[in-house]
Amino acid sequence: MGTSFSCRHAIEFLKCLWQVNNSSASGAPLDCTNHNGQIVISTGFDIGCGNGAIVSLGIKVPSVAATTGDLSRVLDHLPNLEGLILDNSNISGPLSEFRRVRNPSKLRRLQLRWCNVGGTLEDLSNYTFQALKLSDNISGDIKSLDWSQLEFLDLRNATAVTGNVSNLKSGLVKGLWLQYTQATGDITELMRNNSNLTYLHVQGSQIYGHIDRQWAPPHNVGNELKELVLFNTKVTFGMPVPKKPKAPQDPNPFPNLSKLDVSGNPLNMDVWDFLYPLANNYHLSVIVASGCNLTGKETRLRIIAAVFCFCKSLPDVEGIFSYRNRPLYWQLNYMDLSRNGITKLLGEPREFFLDVSSNPVTEVDPRYFKTPLVLNLANTPYNVTEDRRLI
């Protein structure tokens, strides 16, 4: 069945609201009858066709007059619409207008980021989304949403959003962006109940808990994580020292992790105890742990040869390429350890960006100044001109 008159009328109505020209940018007629794929109507305004119907609508340019009330009336004439992408479209109004839609069952993806849309999550309780990304004016408890099919939820900066994530359970959720919300709950329970989580950004939220041996093999909590951003939360870290892998494919914690940010969290531990459990992470490229009270004091380990081997006295240093004849497999591009209690940089450096500013650093291995890396020593007592080893 071709695009009905009411569908075309709905799109023409939206074109008027967004002051779009009457012909599509590609020159094709506004008709999905014999078309599958995208039709670009103008820059930032397109529709997607499938099985002779409009299945997606994307508008990412500002409107001067569009409201959620207008949108709800349009949705009644687009019964096969599965995706509605309106990020930064300047649409305004209450989210409750979505309750007026007569048949909401098809809509699977809704994006209203950076729009002036207010309301509560309860206004969407009769929808089953795969992806939901809303503006920061939204409030309500996340348990009001239907989690049965949800894969991606983005409520970043929605400071009035609440809810306990420990109680959420889904085998489908891959991405949660709950930064600067009032969401709370234990991070280990969250990860255990949602084993496919790949992107978790909860900085500035009320999330708490301890990342410990429950995350290590054979438990494998967090195995799918690629980005774990936890700064300014109450989450702490205490992973056990990993066993030496017999082969690169042997199990290790966070096997897919590429970014870890725990800045401002009360880690209160030796920097080596924090870094060494990550030694076998082949994908890890960014570590940010600024202001976590990481220190360079000696620990129970007989030889402390950390990623940058920060300690007060060492009989031997193997550097950051290996530890006790074990290779460190990571390919770091950036590490921020600023605003901690690190006193020395020892061992062989890597070629990447290292920020140890605002640390009480008094000694730096001369090789750090012979290696093409970016080293930030601002606001430390270290003075390179006074280090005779460099002469």
| Cα gap 248→245, rounded to integer Å | 7
Q: How far is CA 242 from CA 37, 227, 274, 350, in A?
A: 49, 21, 12, 22
Predicted confidence (pLDDT) at residue 302 exceeds the cutoff of 50: no
Predicted confidence (pLDDT) at residue 360 exceeds the cutoff of 80: yes
Please state which of the ranges 132-141, 149-158, 346-355 shows the lowest mean pLDDT: 346-355
pLDDT at 1: 38
| Cα gap 86→91, rounded to integer Å | 8
pLDDT class of 318 with cuts at 50, 70, 90: very low
Per-residue pLDDT of 105-135, as tens digits, reads 899 999 999 999 999 999 999 999 999 999 9
pLDDT at 217: 81
Predicted confidence (pLDDT) at residue 65 exceeds the cutoff of 80: yes
Please state which of the ranges 281-290, 370-379, 382-391 shows the lowest mean pLDDT: 382-391
Amino acid at 3: T
pLDDT at 142: 97
- Residue 182's contacts (CB-CB under 8 Å, 6 or more residues apart) are 159, 160, 161, 162, 205, 206
The alpha helices in 244-356, defined as continuous H runs, are 271-275
Chain centre to alpha carbon of residue 18: 32
pLDDT class of 211 with cuts at 50, 70, 90: very high
Domain positions in the chain are 1-135, 269-391
Rounded to 5 degrees, what are φ and ψ at 299?
Answer: -120, -170
When comparing pLDDT for 28 and 240, which is higher?
240
pLDDT class of 242 with cuts at 50, 70, 90: low
- Cα pseudo-dihedral 40, 43, 105, 174, rounded to 10: 110
As a 3-state breakdown, the chain gives helix, strand, coil percent values, each rounded to 5, of 15, 25, 60
When comparing pLDDT for 371 and 294, which is higher?
294
Other beta carbons within 10 angstroms of residue 204's beta carbon come to 20
Other beta carbons within 10 angstroms of residue 36's beta carbon come to 11
DSSP state letter for 165: G
Which residue has 């017999």 as its token pair? Answer: 246
| Helix (H) and strand (E) counts in the chain | 4, 28
Predicted confidence (pLDDT) at residue 244 exceeds the cutoff of 70: no
Could you give the angle at the alpha carbon of 18 between the alpha carbons of 14 and 23, nearest 5°?
Answer: 75
CA atoms within 13 A on the CB side of 256: 12
State what percent of residues in the chain have pLDDT above 90. Answer: 57
pLDDT at 128: 96
pLDDT at 313: 32
Predicted confidence (pLDDT) at residue 249 exceeds the cutoff of 80: no
| Cα gap 354→380, rounded to integer Å | 14
When comparing pLDDT for 279 and 204, which is higher?
204
Do the strands 45-50 and 37-42 form a parallel or antiparallel pair, or are they unpaired?
antiparallel
Could you give the angle at the alpha carbon of 303 between the alpha carbons of 298 and 306, nearest 5°?
Answer: 80
Contact 379, 358 (CB under 8 A): yes
3-class secondary-structure state, position 153: strand
Domain 1-135, CATH among 3.30.390, 3.10.310, 1.10.10, 3.80.10: 3.80.10
| Cα gap 128→149, rounded to integer Å | 7
Per-residue pLDDT of 18-51, as tens digits, reads 988 655 544 455 678 778 899 998 889 999 999 8
pLDDT at 23: 52
Rounded to 5 degrees, what are φ and ψ at 200?
Answer: -130, 110
Amino acid at 353: F
| Cα gap 12→24, rounded to integer Å | 11
